[in-house]
Chain A
Amino acid sequence: MSVLEDRYRSILRILPASYRDSWEDDMVATFLESVRTGDPDEDEFVADYGRPPWSEVASVVALALRLRLGGTEAPPRAFARGEAVRLVALIGLMVNAVTATVGGGVMLWVAGRLPWLPSPPEGTGLAVWHLAGLLWIPAFAALLFHHRQAAQLLALGALVPAAVISAVELAGGAAPFTVATWFALLTEVLVVLALGAFHRDAPPAPRRPWLIAYAVGVAVMPPVVFLAQPIGGQLLLDWAGICSIAAVVAAVAYLAMPGRRSPAWSLALALVAAIVLAQRILTLLDYRMFADGPERSTLTVLGVVETVAVLAATAVLAALAARTMRELPDGSADAGTRASPPGENALPVRPVKTPGRGGSA
């Protein structure tokens, strides 16, 4: 096996095993033919040192996404997995859009454009990345109005400036390193990646319920953020705490409605709860670095309580998701038409020995 073939086969490993059983050898043969130049020396060089072009790698990645995070025509388990990741993307996108909307309101307030509100306190900064962060709003809208590629680009446009500015601030010493900041960036990266589950075969997101959820979020967030301000000089609730409470409330509400559960929602909520749990645990480090005295002890105790609550919610949701996903058919039984080798009765074979024209027409 040439180095090039080995490299191409290693890329194909991202495809599901059942699919590879059926198509891998054929894909490799077609790929190797496609890179052949006709010049024996050059072909030998490419075989020994060549790498699959990025366009070929991208096409395999796109295929793996479609197969693993299934669309409407995928087997039930792959479809549920795809729906779960799409729900995670929608939840993340909605939270970012709500935060951006409320953040935009704060910007107008700071700029004095909302004269009916009392003036903001002195020294409230206007960070540039808030402007880029506003792109989460059209990204969310684009997805709900079925422009998935525009949504992906806009989300990337919101993420990249935030990442660059955070890195510059950290490198220049303008901002201290906080786990909270970097975890927020990580979750934005996860949202952008999860948007990849909205591929060509994915069903569109239902617009109305997500718009209602967005409106509720915009209405609820300002009072929640207000409550999270330091009380008597002491901070009791940070962003990770708000997310923890929201995750636990969502989990309890979901578990209380057995009739409305689905494997995809169970898995999506389990994934979101796991992300919130990681955020809660890791941001406890910020307390150790930046809080002091009684505030540190209070925040740590509250943080541990939140951690335990989110851990319990994650465990219950994960168990429910694992059980219900296992019960779904994974499609391997009927993969004969889609994903098993022709030699094993997958594709109906009519032996035609003569090369060239087959008598199919």
Chain B
Amino acid sequence: MTDPAFFILTALVDEPRHGYGIVGEVAELSLGRVQLKVGTLYGVLDRLVGEGLVELDREEVQQGRLRRYYRLTEPGYQALAAEADRQAANARAASQRLRAWRPANAGGTA
């Protein structure tokens, strides 16, 4: 799963959001590292909808424009949970290695 897909799914966990809402939430969640461009957002969104991980929640008219809100589906929650577990396991493995490496590097007993 790519970073944008991961963050878009994460942005939709707590509530349905519209396109610009997703852009803002992803920027916040990633501490500014992932600044989604519109072409990127809708490329990923199209794929997530195609895979059944995201679906349309509702449409609203705001200032004369139609706003579509998207939400996670049940498979979307499962896919995100699986990916989060995978990334957490990766991070744990790296952290353990780093903890073991530090004393040796500092001249300890390894």
Contacts and interface: CB of A to CB of B under 8 A. Distances in A.
A260 interface: no
A338 interface: yes
B68 interface: yes
Interface stretch (B43-51, B81-89, B100-108): B43-51
A273 to B, nearest CB: 33
A283 to B, nearest CB: 39
Given A30-B23, A66-B43, A360-B57, A337 B49 contact: yes
A30 B41 CA distance: 10
Contact residues of A: prevailing secondary structure: helix
A320 interface: no
Contacts of B26: none
Counting chain A residues whose Cβ lies within 8 A of the other chain, the interface size class is 35 or more
Nearest to A53: B37
A186 to B, nearest CB: 28
B56 A347 contact: yes
Interface string A320-361: 000000000000000001110011000111111101111011
A66 B13 CA distance: 27
Interface stretch (A21-29, A142-150, A152-160): A21-29
A358 B38 contact: no
Given A29-B67, A62-B39, A355-B60, A360 B15 contact: yes
Nearest to B77: A361
Interface string A257-297: 00000000000000000000000000000000000000000
Interface residues of B, number: 37
Given A29-B65, A59-B38, A60-B39, A358 B46 contact: no
A23 B42 contact: yes
A55 interface: yes
A19 B58 contact: no
Given A56-B37, A338-B46, A348 B56 contact: yes
A292 B56 CA distance: 71
A44 to B, nearest CB: 14
A278 B16 CA distance: 54
A342 B56 CA distance: 7
B37 to A, nearest CB: 3
A350 B59 CA distance: 10
A30 B38 contact: yes
Nearest to B36: A59
A30 B49 contact: no
Contact of A342 (B15, B20, B40, B68): B68
A338 B59 CA distance: 18
A63 B39 contact: yes
Given A59-B37, A342-B59, A360 B16 contact: yes
Contacts of A351: 58
Contacts of B15: 356-358, 360-361
30 contacts: A23-B42, A23-B45, A23-B46, A26-B68, A27-B42, A29-B19, A29-B66, A29-B67, A34-B20, A56-B38, A56-B39, A58-B37, A59-B38, A59-B40, A62-B40, A62-B43, A63-B42, A200-B2, A338-B47, A342-B59, A348-B55, A349-B58, A349-B59, A352-B57, A355-B60, A358-B69, A360-B12, A360-B57, A360-B72, A361-B15
Given A59-B40, A347-B49, A349-B56, 5 more contacts: A31-B38, A200-B2, A353-B58, A358-B16, A358-B69
